[in-house]
Structure 1
Amino acid sequence: MVIPNLPHQNNVQRIGYKLLSMLDFKGKKAEDVGKTLISACLWNSSIENKSSAYNVSPQTVRNYVEEQGIEVVEKLLEQMRKISLETLKGVKEIDISIDWTTKTWYGKQVKGLGTSEKGNSWNHATATTKYGGKILLLAFITQVNGMTKEDIVKALVEQVVAMGLKIRLITLDAGFYTVGVLNFISQFKYIIGVPVGDVKVYEEFDGEYTTNSKRKRREEQVKFRLLVYSKEKVRRKRREVVYFARATNLDLKKGDVLKLYNKVRGPIETSYRDIKAFLPFTSSTKFVFRTLIFVLAMAFYSFYTIFKSVMGREEFRRLLILLFPEDLLNLENSLFNLVETLINTIDLFLRR
């Protein structure tokens, strides 16, 4: 039987203190609101359901978040960036991947999201980098009405640069393929997915290409190196050739560019999957509420990256559940006693 090494007791305790300090709401029910949010994340459960465990109404939780959530979001993002910078250990030049993930719900429609015409989804965009086997969150933004794809990319890049990091390479998927984005990222080395239907090149190709956007004048179009490659896929028991395209300004062999794109961009999908594992559910459709719970899930994910080398995501979640039982009135004693008991029990087991 293999038992993973436990993180040092003091480090685990620090997570507990950090989580509550970042959920620093003000008011009589502030502590109960923080407990509800933490519990919902750990159990990947409904905030409305978890609120009953702490004798606070769902509406009270919503009121606290809607009134004070912006400040809490900033604290969470600051901690997320701090964890990433500490992990990078002085690294100054990085490759980043930019992408967004969509969270859909069914129910009351909301205006002003900028993520779907029907108003039933949110787009959260992030910039990540992979270092030492860990996928680190660097920047975050929620899309709202009027925000273009170029606005999203610029905002994320500006956040990364503000951390004192130099961007060596940017990768983006085909959802960001616009003339505005291409113009902006051309100052960096980049690889971006291209919808084959836009370029209409259905053959193996490696050469210069110029955009043909109807919304731009000829002098505003962008020239780039276009790479088109094919793959065989089976659809309805029939084999057919499917074409994929990438735009880049890298002077590398075609195969090397494609491998580099997959290497840099691939991990961002894993990060979204892990973030959503900590994402609670809620009936609230308020912008600040939806933003806060996603950022809180990112904070849990960032803490998980600290211990990724010694335990899996679910082991990390179970350990935190032990640290945060439903009765958190005496958090300090609870943290020390529970962790000490857990470590001592495993230590005795290993001595047998």
Structure 2
Amino acid sequence: MTKDEVVKALVEQVVAMGFKVRLMTLDAGFYTVDVLNFVSQFKYVIAVPVGDVKVYQEFDGEYETNSKRHRKDEQVKFRLLVYSKEKVRRKKRTLVYFARATNLNLPKGEVLDLYNKVRGPIETSYRNIKAFLPFTSSTKFVFRTLIFVLAIVLYSLYTVFKGEVRREQFRLLLILLFSDDLFYLRDFLLKSVEPLINNIDLFSRR
């Protein structure tokens, strides 16, 4: 699936559940002309790779994409916000620039705060989920998807018990519970959740 197809599918699922899309926030991985064309029907804020727009200064104004894969009439105009943060690298202070694409008619600071408010918890949760990912060198998409789903389940369990135990204690408990299967994790997972794998495999071929 292309990136715009992924976004469309997710929006369709949300709408099918009876929800209304009030705001879309996407990370820089979804910054494409096709995605921008689709999300323009909603209110949105999308992270933009600064290297793509090549604006290395504080900026708040109109910007038009210049994708070589699309014709001139297919390019998208949007409001581009560029801001900087001071970071210390090797005891030297440098300015690092970040960019956002949006169609919101709000002050620059409010747009940036809104993006951080929505994306912040998502990024934090993703980092926490990754802490429960078992290591694998497998390149099989279905298996890697499966262990990520497993990590989500384990993280969800941890959130239930985190008032009682710390994360490292919880992970140690999991190791003790599944110690007999750790060396055969791939076979253990594949055999125990084979129906789920088949469903994921079918979905990935759509």
1:185-227 Cα distance to aligned partner (Å, 9 max, x none):
1122111111222222222221111111122122211111111
- State the partner residue of 2:120: 266
1:292 aligns to 2:136 (yes or no): no
Q: Select the structure that is richer in helix.
A: 2
Corresponding residue to 1:185 among 36, 39, 56 = 39
Equivalent in the alignment of 2:28:
174
Q: Is the 8 A contact 1:304 1:316 kept in 2?
A: no
Q: Confirm or deny that 1:195 pairs with 2:44.
A: no
Q: Deviations over 1:118-161 (max 9, x none)?
A: xxxxxxxxxxxxxxxxxxxxxxxxxxxxx322223223333333
Tell me which residue corresponds to 2:156: 302
- Aligned pairs for 1:114-193 (under 5 A) are 147-193=1-47
Cα deviation code 1:287-318 (max 9, x no counterpart): 3222211112112223444455x446628836
Amino acid at match of 2:36: L
| 2:158–2:167 Cα contact (<8 Å) kept | no
Identity %: 78
Quickly say closer, same or farther: Cα 1:189–1:313, change in 2 above 3 A. Answer: farther
Q: Which residue of 2 aligns with 1:317?
A: 170
SS at match of 1:273: helix
Q: Could you say which residue in structure 2 is the equivalent of 1:219?
A: 73
Q: Residues 163 and 298 from structure 1, CA distance in 2 versus in 1: closer, same or farther, beyond 3 angstroms?
A: farther
Amino acid at match of 2:122: I
Corresponding position of 1:209: 63
The 3 A distance-change label for structure 1 pair 229 and 285 is closer
Q: Which residue of 1 aligns with 2:189?
A: none
Q: Contact 1:191/1:248 (CA < 8 Å) preserved in 2?
A: yes
C-alpha distance in structure 2 between counterparts of 1:303 and 1:280, whole Å: 16
Return 5+ residue gaps in structure 1 as ranges.
Answer: 1-146, 328-352
Structure ID, larger Rg: 1
Q: What are the Cα deviations for residues 47-71 of structure 1, in whole angstroms up to 9, with x where unaligned?
A: xxxxxxxxxxxxxxxxxxxxxxxxx
Code of the aligned partner of 1:169: L
Query: Which residue pairs with 1:276 in the alignment?
Result: 130
Whole-angstrom distance in 1 between the partners of 2:179 and 2:87 = 50
Say whether the 8 Å CA contact 1:274–1:301 is kept in structure 2. yes
Query: Normalised by the size of structure 1, how large is the TM-score?
Result: 0.45
Instruction: Measure how far apart 1:184 and its partner are.
Output: 1.3
Partner of 1:244: 98
Q: 1:204 is aligned with what amino acid?
A: E
TM-score (norm. length: structure 2): 0.73
Over aligned residue pairs, what C-alpha RMSD do you find?
2.8
Provide the secondary structure at the position in 1 that maps to 2:85.
strand
Distance in 2 (CA, whole Å) between partners of 1:203 and 1:282 is 41
Letter in 1 for 2:79: R
Distance 2:40 2:150 in 1: 33
Aligned residue number for residue 79 of structure 1: none
5+ unaligned residues in a row in structure 2: which ranges? 181-206
